Amino acid sequence: MSILRTVDLSRSFGSLLATDCVNLAIEAGERHAIIGPNGAGKTSLLNQVGGQLRPSSGRIFFKDREITGLPPERVCKLGIGRTFQKNNLFTRLSVFDNVRLAVLARRGQPLNAFVPVTRFAAVEERTGEILVQVGLADRRGAAVRSLSYGEQRQVEIAIALAADPELLLLDEPTAGMSPAETAQMVEFVKGLPRTLTILMIEHDMQVVFSLADRITVLHYGRLLATGAPAEISRNEAVQEIYLGTAH
Amino acid sequence: MGSTSRYAGVILLAALALVPLWLGDYGRSLVTETLLFCIFAMSLDLLMGYTGLISFGHAAFFGLGAYTVAVLGALFGIHPVLGALAAICLAAPVAVAIGFFCIRASGVYFIMLTLAFAQLLYTVSIKWRSVTGGDDGLVAPRLGTGEQTYFAVLLTLLVVYFCLRRLIASPLGQVLIGIRENEARMRAAGYATARYKLLSFMIAGCLGATAGALFAMHNGFVSPSVLFWMLSGEGMIMVVLGGMGTLVGPMIGAAVFLLLKHFVSLHSAHWELLVGATFIACVMFFKQGIYGWFRERWARRSRP
């Protein structure tokens, strides 16, 4: 079963077609990477799935339920978590508070105005678990802005995981990371349970080829090819347009 | 720091309890007014400092509260306590209605819309002479003696302060802070932020109306100035002067502002000049306001 499908999805900015009639099907449990040169419309595509951007036309289905044009909070509640290309965090709050806010939305009582937030044992426990999972347990009290860039990327993922998603959207999870941090992130994503479907945008080909089951190549908003990593690396159109190696 | 601030609080509270013995009628009246403006400033700070909504129309709720007490008292002879309860009940739907429109906008547009709604109510208070008395204003029922009013205001302030403290520490308070810090991220994390902002607007409106209702029963008279944009601006000055995003800060801001206003205006008609200069100095040199500045110094001193 496809967990995510887009049907003739298009989005234009003025005369620019950021997404041009894209038909994509992501299978449940798959690790799917979207690649393409700068300006290929990768983030625009992710933003339409995440509800940050309304499509101009076409439809999006999540588990066969149409989610086209739903606001981000609804998309999140349905089970799609996401990270952002640039760290998009609550920088003045602590690591723990960042993740707890996301956990509260899922398992807390966010409208409770009388009981101190620290009294909800289930929320505190789940927040602690996620911090252990992403390897930030010893930084829980630190303000997010005092963290290294790589650590902030981990907070991004922690917030996305706090929504208990079935589909995780990762927008360049290793962008701006050192080689050591990148290797750690790859191991981390590999270690995520296979029940979690992952759709990621990534520039680092090594990361893509070590993580992805299938790859989709976008070029000027259009879907150029979809297939297993081996097929994609053999594909001549991809080599010519994206990798720039064939002549 | 925790226990020190608790001692400071107890001492301040004891001093406030003795105010009617110490000070004469004028002093007590001045402190009463300060205390009710503490409520006003704190309620505005729930929007400005905690939710990140810069409202330039908070006088709408202060005035609504004051006029509700005055009109119900003058036209129907209703007791001001009942009038105050009515004011709070009326402020809730009015805040939801105003908030519904304002929250759709952000930044400067939010500021201008809140201002516009407050000025709308101001105009109503001037034009609807048969009910509000127009420019002449309206005599409001007093709560009782000056001392009784003083303690009623002090008690209300304490209740409001402790409720807000609880709210800030609660899940809802944390969500509001999250919206202030990064609204787009809150939405991606599953929060329908518009609903929470509206709730914050409503709570702030009800508390602003509470302050206004207390003002009417303390002052015994209500005029359109309680709805004028200057009052909204003064509230903002109190919040920023004292320290936005804290509960103690706005109270300090209200006290400093009103003390400057009353004592300097005794000696000079240019008291606003001094308030303005203080405000500019505060914004330029202590970005966290008076309370924020003290807190920072204290933290530095007590660090090992």
Q: For position B304, what pLDDT does the model report?
A: 54
Give the residue numbers in B contacting A (CB under 8 Å), as ranges: 166-167, 169-175, 177-178, 181-182, 184-193, 196, 199
Q: For position B300, what pLDDT does the model report?
A: 80
Closest by CA to B36, choosing from B143, B125, B173, B113, is: B143
Is A85 in CB contact (< 8 Å) with chain B? no
Give the gap in angstroms from C-alpha A176 to the nearest C-alpha of chain B: 20
Q: What is the mean pLDDT of chain A?
A: 92
Q: For position B61, what pLDDT does the model report?
A: 98
Q: In terms of DSSP bridges, do strands A197-201 and A167-171 run parallel, antiparallel, or are they unpaired? A: parallel
Q: For position A244, what pLDDT does the model report?
A: 60
Is residue B280 classed exposed, middle or buried when 0-12, 13-18 and 19+ CB atoms within 10 A define those classes?
A: exposed
pLDDT tens profile B84-102 = 999 999 999 999 999 999 9
Give the gap in angstroms from C-alpha B129 to the nearest C-alpha of chain A: 40
Locate the chain B residue with the closest alpha carbon to A92.
B181
Q: Is residue A202 pLDDT above 50, yes or no?
A: yes
Q: Is residue B45 pLDDT above 90, yes or no?
A: yes
Q: For position B294, what pLDDT does the model report?
A: 86
Structure confidence at residue B251 as a pLDDT band (50, 70, 90): very high
Is the Cβ pair A93, B181 closer than 8 Å?
yes
Close Cβ partners of B45 (under 8 Å, ≥ 6 residues apart): B239, B244, B245, B246, B247, B249, B250
Q: Is residue A245 pLDDT above 60, yes or no?
A: no
Q: Is residue A246 pLDDT above 60, yes or no?
A: no
Q: Is residue A53 pLDDT above 90, yes or no?
A: yes
Tokens at residue A53, please? 């951007």
Give the gap in angstroms from C-alpha A244 to the nearest C-alpha of chain B: 36
Task: Identify the weakest region by mean pLDDT among A102-106, A234-238, B20-24, B300-304.
Answer: B300-304
pLDDT tens profile A97-146 = 999 999 999 888 999 999 999 999 999 999 999 999 999 999 999 999 99
Structure confidence at residue B262 as a pLDDT band (50, 70, 90): confident
Across the range B42-62, mean pLDDT stands at 96
User: For A111, which of B172, B178, B182 is closest by C-beta distance?
Assistant: B172
- The span from the CA of B127 to the CA of B111, in Å, is 25
Is the Cβ pair A114, B167 closer than 8 Å?
yes
Is residue B79 classed exposed, middle or buried when 0-12, 13-18 and 19+ CB atoms within 10 A define those classes?
A: middle
Q: Is residue A247 pLDDT above 60, yes or no?
A: no
In chain B, at which residue ranges do the beta strands (DSSP E only) sit?
138-139, 221-222
Is the Cβ pair A88, B196 closer than 8 Å?
no
Q: For position A30, what pLDDT does the model report?
A: 95
Is the Cβ pair B170, A159 closer than 8 Å?
no
Q: For position B301, what pLDDT does the model report?
A: 77
Locate the chain A residue with the closest alpha carbon to B168.
A113
Which residues of chain A lie closer than 8 angstroms to B174, CB-CB?
97, 100-101, 104, 117
pTM over 0.90: yes
Q: What is the mean pLDDT of chain B?
A: 92
- The span from the CA of A4 to the CA of A197, in Å, is 9
* Residue B249 CB-half CA count within 13 A: 30
Which residues of chain A lie closer than 8 angstroms to B182, CB-CB?
88-91
At B150, is the secondary structure helix, strand, or coil?
Answer: helix
Q: Where are the domains of chain A?
A: 85-163
pLDDT tens profile B144-202 = 898 899 999 999 999 999 999 999 999 999 999 999 999 999 999 999 999 999 999 99
